């Protein structure tokens, strides 16, 4: 396999391990809420731990723009594997929260390092395909985690998926050290000035509502979707997780074809369609728990929502300089994860106060509408988010 393609697949495997580990914990929440007597507010507080990722991620992105090191990618994988190994020793909320914080620190490394590495290495006509591949492989890891964690927890113990994903992350470290040692790190031409972060943020402002909503929709749906189903007597954790694994699986397929779809319809239209589909879908999820209704809705929802993520990555690549790419993705994922963290925390409180997790999807629908309106406004102004940056500063 050519070195560049090997690099793409190894980095993408890190993406699968990173996101799969995070989702494996989410998939276990229906079991953990029962065994550790967690409230919906406790679940929201666990989601708020994402702010740790936001803070650390920005710093990692800044470091990557100065001295790019492949070992930063492996540092994140080590911390993710270690967090799930320590999870085997946990038996209460305090211990669970502590391990989640460590996990959130580890999760801060992949996106500013892995995604920016790919955009630098594959800049050109292959970029959107490469972004689609890394997004799709990441989604595949999430599918495995969501589809298997609940079943393993029901059949054996909730600690079984912890062993699996600890091994997966440590394998990523070994694979990375063996393969990435032969791959040259992208060259950084100049050091990013302190004012460059403000310039980068200014270019990103038109898309901030969409970025925040994208992160919130993913976190709310994956966290409270299975919990909403298991709150009824007809669903166990394994079956509920499987329904949302289908949601992710459909998204993984569409992510692989992002390049073709984007060329045909345009990135801004894809984003608008994604948030319109999300608003409709989560509204249905708020009202129904029958699998005959929610199964086709989740297919529809996943097909549209998941192409919005590589679309946003592509916009960021076109609208930022090469030497600020780590900072740009650090900011992007900061808003995305920050929006997800605050939204999940708010949803936990909403679910506790109203004594029904279905109401969190009403909140998600409102966020979708706000994102859609921001894109309509952007289009109406004749603005072109993601206008290519040419040359220097």
Averaged pLDDT for residues 282-290 = 92
Confidence of residue 382 (pLDDT cuts 50, 70, 90): low
pLDDT tens digits along 219-277: 999 999 999 998 876 788 888 888 998 998 888 788 777 777 877 877 788 888 999 99
| Cβ atoms 60, 337 nearer than 8 A | no
pLDDT reported for residue 343: 94
pLDDT tens digits along 77-90: 999 999 999 999 98
Positive or negative, the Cα torsion across 295, 297, 300, 302? Answer: negative
pLDDT tens digits along 332-344: 777 888 888 899 9
Q: What are the tokens at 78?
A: 């080590």
Give Rg (Cα) of the chain: 20
pTM for the whole thing? 0.78
| Cβ atoms 87, 159 nearer than 8 A | yes
pLDDT reported for residue 391: 33
What domains can be seen in the chain, in order of their start residue? 3-184+196-380 (1.20.1250.20)
Assess whether pLDDT exceeds 70 at residue 393. Answer: no
As a residue count, the chain comes to 393
State the average pLDDT for the chain: 82
Task: For residue 262, give Cα distances in angstroms to 3, 5, 319, 377.
Answer: 27, 22, 17, 20
pLDDT tens digits along 92-127: 898 999 999 999 999 988 888 887 788 777 777 677
pLDDT reported for residue 196: 59
Confidence of residue 134 (pLDDT cuts 50, 70, 90): confident
């Amino acid at each position: 396999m050519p070195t560049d393609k090997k690099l793409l697949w190894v980095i993408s495997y890190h993406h699968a391990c990173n996101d799969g580990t995070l989702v494996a914990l989410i998939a276990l929440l229906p079991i953990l809420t029962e065994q550790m007597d967690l409230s919906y507010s406790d679940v929201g507080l666990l989601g708020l731990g994402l702010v740790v990722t936001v803070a650390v991620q920005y710093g990692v992105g800044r470091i990557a723009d100065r001295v790019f090191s492949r070992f930063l990618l492996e540092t994140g994988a080590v911390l993710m594997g270690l967090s799930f190994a320590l999870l085997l020793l946990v038996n209460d909320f305090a211990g669970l929260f502590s391990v989640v914080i460590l996990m959130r620190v580890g999760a801060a490394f992949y996106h500013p390092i892995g995604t920016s590495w790919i955009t630098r290495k594959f800049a050109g006509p292959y970029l959107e395909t490469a972004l689609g591949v890394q997004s799709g492989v990441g989604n595949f890891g999430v599918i495995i985690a969501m589809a298997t964690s609940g079943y393993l927890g029901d059949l054996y113990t909730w600690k079984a998926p912890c062993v699996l994903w600890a091994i997966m992350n440590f394998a990523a470290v070994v694979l990375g050290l063996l393969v990435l040692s032969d791959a040259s790190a992208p060259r950084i031409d100049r050091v990013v000035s302190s004012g460059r972060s403000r310039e980068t943020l200014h270019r990103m402002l038109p898309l901030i509502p969409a970025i925040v909503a994208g992160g919130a929709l993913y976190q709310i749906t994956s966290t409270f979707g299975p919990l909403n189903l298991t709150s009824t007597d007809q669903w166990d954790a394994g079956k509920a997780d499987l329904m949302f694994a289908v949601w992710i699986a459909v998204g993984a397929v569409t992510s692989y074809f992002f390049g073709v779809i984007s060329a045909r319809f345009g990135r801004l239209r894809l984003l608008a369609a994604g948030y319109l589909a999300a608003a409709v879908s989560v509204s249905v999820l708020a009202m129904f728990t029958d699998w005959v209704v929610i199964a086709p809705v989740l297919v529809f929802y996943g097909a549209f929502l998941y192409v919005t993520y590589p679309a946003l990555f592509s916009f960021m690549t076109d609208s930022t300089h090469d030497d600020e790419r780590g900072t740009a993705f650090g900011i992007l994922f900061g808003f995305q994860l920050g929006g997800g963290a605050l939204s999940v925390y708010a949803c936990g409180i909403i679910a506790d106060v109203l004594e029904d997790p279905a109401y969190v999807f009403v909140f998600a629908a409102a966020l979708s509408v706000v994102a859609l309106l921001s894109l309509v406004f952007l289009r109406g102004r004749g603005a072109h988010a993601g206008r290519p940056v040419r040359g220097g500063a």
